[in-house]
């Protein structure tokens, strides 16, 4: 078997193209959706990610603002920046880029964000709405994974989904989304992690396997069954002397070996990553629509 590769770049382009009509409708009302990213410190990956977000905003004609602060910023100063953005009418979406310095209470910063502008979907209000199956701003990466499954023609209803990884950013929210009584849900979900006993036995049960652990090629061919769907969330740098950068990006899945057994698989790069940014644009537009209705 040779797996069908689910092209995240192509699906992300479809998602953003579908936003253009909604953006035009907002423009007719005098509203330009605006996204503010707060970047603390000099983490290279964070800088790259924030730059990608700003470029995506420019392509869609969204207002974009990046606020950069040094790693020694104080807790109160960072929370004040967030509160000022809450009151800024140009800004409909706020994100504070992770990771933050260890001196910062990240949850306190998240709690300071107006839930209606929480385009990362991390505020407890939005997490609660997600768990209840109510409308709200969903976390971008899990929402992007659901969109990838839909575009790949993979309905999780009635299937066994195994998620390897229990983070608050991917694993746990994706599990919450897939167990809902809703379209592109109704799955039987197992969340496995680093302390799961007999992990290969668990992963081999999966109709749909999601790898989100941050460990290069951790999922090997002997850990997946024939015909499964594999979603690889991991983005890991491994040394590659033959590359100009001295490294290359690989996922949590041994792509070449697992692709010979899977029915569908996402690549790294070019799979889940582009969807995260696309869903951030989706959330920013949705937040602008919601806030505009509230103001009216």
DSSP state of 246: S
The burial class, CB within 10 Å (0-12 / 13-18 / 19+), for 236 is: middle
Q: Are 96 and 113 in contact (CB under 8 A)?
A: yes
The SS3 call for residue 108 is: helix
Positions annotated as catalytic residues are 53, 97, 120
Q: Are 239 and 246 in contact (CB under 8 A)?
A: yes
The SS3 call for residue 25 is: helix
> What are the start-end ranges of the H helices in 29-65?
44-59
Give the CA distances from residue 31 to residues 76, 154, 272, 280, in Å, rounded to whole numbers and listed in that order: 31, 36, 30, 18
Radius of gyration of the chain (CA): 19
Angle between helices 272-295 and 44-59 (to 10 degrees): 60
CA dihedral 174, 180, 186, 187 (to 10 degrees): 30
DSSP state of 241: T
The SS3 call for residue 218 is: coil
DSSP state of 253: B
């Amino acid at each position: 078997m040779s797996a069908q590769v689910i092209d995240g770049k192509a699906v992300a382009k479809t998602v953003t193209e579908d936003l253009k009509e909604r953006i035009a409708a907002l423009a007719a009302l005098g509203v330009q959706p605006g996204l503010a990213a707060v970047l603390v410190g000099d983490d290279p990956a964070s800088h790259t990610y924030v730059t990608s977000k700003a470029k995506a905003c420019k392509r869609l004609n969204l207002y974009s603002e990046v606020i950069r602060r040094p790693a020694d910023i104080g807790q109160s100063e960072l929370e004040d920046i967030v509160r000022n953005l809450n009151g800024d009418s140009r800004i409909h979406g706020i994100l504070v880029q992770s990771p933050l310095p260890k001196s910062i209470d990240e949850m306190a910063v998240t709690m300071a964000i107006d839930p209606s502008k929480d385009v990362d979907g991390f505020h407890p209000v939005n997490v609660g709405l997600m768990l209840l199956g109510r409308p709200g701003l969903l976390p971008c990466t899990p929402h992007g994974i659901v969109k990838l499954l839909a575009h790949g023609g993979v309905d999780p209803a009635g299937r066994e989904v195994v998620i390897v990884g229990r983070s608050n950013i991917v694993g746990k929210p994706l599990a919450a989304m897939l167990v809902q009584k809703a379209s592109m849900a109704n799955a039987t979900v197992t969340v496995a992690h680093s302390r799961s006993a007999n992990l290969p036995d668990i992963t081999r049960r999966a109709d749909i396997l999601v790898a989100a652990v941050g460990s290069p090629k951790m999922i090997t061919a002997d850990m997946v069954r024939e015909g499964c769907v594999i979603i690889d969330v991991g983005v890991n740098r491994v040394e590659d002397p033959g590359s100009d950068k001295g490294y290359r990006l690989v996922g949590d899945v041994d792509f070449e070996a697992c692709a010979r057994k899977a029915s569908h698989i996402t690549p790294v790069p070019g799979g889940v990553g582009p969807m995260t940014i696309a869903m951030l644009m989706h959330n920013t537009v949705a937040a602008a629509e919601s806030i505009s209705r509230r103001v009216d």
